[in-house]
Amino acid sequence: MSHSCPKYLKHLLVKPGSKLKLDDVDPREVSFLGEEDDARAKLAEDIIEIDKLQDRLYAEGKRALLVVLQGTDTAGKDGTVRGVFNTTGPIGVSVTAFKQPNELERAHDYLWRIHMAAPRRGTIGIFNRSHYEDVLVGKVRKLAPKDVIQERYDQINAFEKLLADNGTVILKFMLHISRKEQGERLQERLDDPKKHWKFNAGDLEDRALWGDFQDAYQTALRRCSTDAAPWHVVPADRKWARNCIVASIVRDTLETMNPVYPKMPWKASDFKID
Amino acid sequence: MSHSCPKYLKHLLVKPGSKLKLDDVDPREVSFLGEEDDARAKLAEDIIEIDKLQDRLYAEGKRALLVVLQGTDTAGKDGTVRGVFNTTGPIGVSVTAFKQPNELERAHDYLWRIHMAAPRRGTIGIFNRSHYEDVLVGKVRKLAPKDVIQERYDQINAFEKLLADNGTVILKFMLHISRKEQGERLQERLDDPKKHWKFNAGDLEDRALWGDFQDAYQTALRRCSTDAAPWHVVPADRKWARNCIVASIVRDTLETMNPVYPKMPWKASDFKID
């Protein structure tokens, strides 16, 4: 297991077998980050280090990092990608946004399209939504029978272990915002014509089911935080804090992975450039 | 045709039907960029604008931009991606590096894997190498019979026109470096153990065939610079100049495409956030 979490963020890690109550996590409580200015300064350093570490990961070419981002609408999944990985650039980083499955995807088991999008060795893969939708919206909207949903938690754990055993380090982040904060963000999207394309009437239907979704998240967090692929609950009402937390854990994990520039089976003096 | 090139770079555009002589293009002559400091300042602006334009392209979701980067080993393909697109981040930008085709890819026509990697609407796709390898290394190394290679130029033009007709704007850049510059860059890779993984003994074999490759490039540039998908020859011995040129043309093209935030079929007042 190469994933790692700095000490001051360890309380955000969902322990395997935990009886986490999501309600107990305050989406605005981020005093553990210290002063905002200091945290932002650390973030600026972290994203530069992540870029350097990604270059080593790419050069090494043996392992991958998978970052799973989940959260209700407006929780800040895209914003996290921008805030944490923009400096890393598109070489060796892929982002997959999972929408409603298309016909071909629905013709397979629900993990088929996820497996197809798994990051290749040497790269960082970011999932904007993921297979967890199949135990979140799948559960709340009753898109599959209860017993089928129930089986999925173990299937997901086995699938993630497969990836982990084969060299993919997995970090999962639930971006945890309050209902109030979501209301403000949805309103912002309505108020700014440039953000209208991000607004989806369906988001309001999901919002009406807020409690059901929180329950479904709580179950998924409890059942699927494993040694192979731990969940973190990120207080995400404050965007800067959210980015600071994710960046810090990603950096710590990449440092623990400690990818190395490969040693080649030759000496530089073997070659002469004419 | 939405691709566009600023006036001061128009001479880098290979005109359809041109009898371009690659030897006549000096990889170090970039006086048309003016003072280096000014050019770098413009680059800094350009990459920020490219990021903003990419956001609009993504929101619009109707068209794509394909940027094809070709050049001999060490010409700076990765460096160009970093220099021009790092600020744009990985959302909505995908980079595909084409290596030697694998067994599955070889079981199809040479454009099959290229088509699979074509950027989806709303995104920028960057090809690090491309189908042009099939008329470059394919020709020089005689990987296919002469008449098969000959047919490919028209096939490529038809394929690129298909993409263009269906909403993908295509920009092709040949990063043109001198043999001397390549020698220095290869030596750098040998001198720095952190860069050893980038060094490939096969690069020296290709270097020994420098003239053949330049000829193959010249033919591809002459035969495949079309209205639908123009080639640009980028003097690339100076990395900053290379980035300035590519960024300027990409920005100009995106501005000409002028993607717009979509107008939704509803008014903000239709919704009430509770």
Residue A195: what pLDDT? 93
ipTM rounded to 2 decimals: 0.89
Token pair 């007709």 in the structure block, residue: B165
Give the nearest partner residue to B197 out of A59, A78, A193, using CB atoms: A59
Residue B187 and residue A86: Cβ atoms within 8 Å?
no
Parallel/antiparallel/unpaired status of strands A93-97 and A64-70 = unpaired
Q: What is the CB-side half-sphere exposure of residue A84 using CA atoms within 13 A?
A: 28
First to last CA, chain B: 46
Residue B274: what pLDDT? 87
Q: Is residue A210 within 8 Å of residue A200, measured between CB atoms?
A: no
Which region, left, alpha or beta, applies to residue A18 given φ > 0 means left and ψ of -120 to 50 means alpha? Answer: beta
Tokens linked to A158: 């086995």
pLDDT category of residue B1 using cuts at 50, 70 and 90: low
Reference A170, options A132, A237, A218, A225; nearest CA is: A225
Q: How much is the average pLDDT of B57-83?
A: 97
Residue A144 has φ and ψ, to the nearest 5°, of: -145, 155
Token pair 């088929």 in the structure block, residue: A112
Query: What Rg do the C-alpha atoms of chain A give, in angstroms?
Result: 19
Q: How much is the average pLDDT of B85-110?
A: 93
What's the mean per-residue pLDDT of chain B? 96
Is residue B266 less than 8 Å (CB to CB) from chain A? yes
Residue A87: what pLDDT? 85
What's the mean per-residue pLDDT of chain A? 96
pLDDT tens-place string over residues A2-19: 789 999 999 999 999 999
Residue B260: what pLDDT? 95
pLDDT tens-place string over residues B6-47: 999 999 999 999 999 999 999 999 999 999 999 999 999 999
**Best of A65, A190, A195 to mutate (most B CBs within 10 Å, chain B):** A190
Question: Residue A1 pLDDT more than 80?
Answer: no
pLDDT tens-place string over residues A118-135: 999 999 999 999 999 999
| Structural domains of chain A, with CATH | 7-256 (3.40.50.300)
Residue A273 and residue B183: Cβ atoms within 8 Å?
yes
Residue B203: what pLDDT? 92
pLDDT tens-place string over residues A15-73: 999 999 999 999 999 999 999 999 999 999 999 999 999 999 999 999 999 999 999 99
Which runs of consecutive H residues, i.e. helices, occur in B61-178?
A: 77-85, 103-106, 112-116, 137-140, 146-165
Q: How much is the average pLDDT of A202-230?
A: 97
Residue A258: what pLDDT? 97
Q: Is residue B13 within 8 Å of residue B264, measured between CB atoms?
A: no
Close Cβ partners of A155 (under 8 Å, ≥ 6 residues apart): A111
pLDDT tens-place string over residues A134-188: 999 999 999 999 999 999 999 999 999 999 999 999 999 999 999 999 999 999 9
Question: Residue B57 pLDDT more than 70?
Answer: yes
Residue B72: what pLDDT? 96
Residue A88: what pLDDT? 87
Query: What Rg do the C-alpha atoms of chain B give, in angstroms?
Result: 19
Q: A10 to chain B, minimum CA–CA distance in Å?
A: 28
